[in-house]
């Protein structure tokens, strides 16, 4: 079963989502996205698969969101993506990828929506 979690071990919600995946019988591929951020192309692909906007994935709390002025609604998506590439902490987490889709799992229990049943 190919499940990927873009994870921050310092985040309680991310740790809970990871635990729920493992409790379901799946050992996911864990990407600590602050150490190994997704490329811009991958991030755009994940956004498209999740049907989220760039703003939907933009994290405010505990990030340079305010100091970068990213709350301005006139900032284009390309500039928001630039900021996410420069500051991966701006990418909200946990983002989970499975054969059933891509979902920002906040709250963590949302991960259950995209976990395929484990056979055997």
Measured over the CA atoms of residue 98, residue 103, residue 104 and residue 109, the dihedral's sign is negative
105 has catalytic annotation: no
C-alpha span between 63 and 101 (Å, rounded): 27
Of 3, 5, 11, 97, the active-site residue reads 11
Residue positions annotated with a catalytic role: 11
């Amino acid at each position: 079963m190919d499940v990927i979690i873009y994870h921050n071990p310092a985040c309680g919600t991310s740790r809970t989502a990871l635990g729920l995946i493992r409790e379901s019988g799946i050992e996911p591929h864990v990407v600590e996205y602050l150490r190994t951020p997704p490329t811009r192309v991958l991030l755009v692909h994940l956004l498209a698969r999740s049907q989220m906007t760039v703003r939907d994935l933009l994290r405010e709390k505990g990030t340079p969101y305010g100091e970068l002025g990213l709350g301005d609604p006139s900032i284009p998506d390309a500039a928001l993506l630039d900021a996410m590439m420069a500051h991966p902490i701006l990418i909200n987490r946990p983002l989970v990828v499975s054969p059933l889709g891509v979902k920002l799992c906040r709250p963590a229990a949302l991960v259950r929506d995209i976990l395929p049943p484990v056979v055997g």
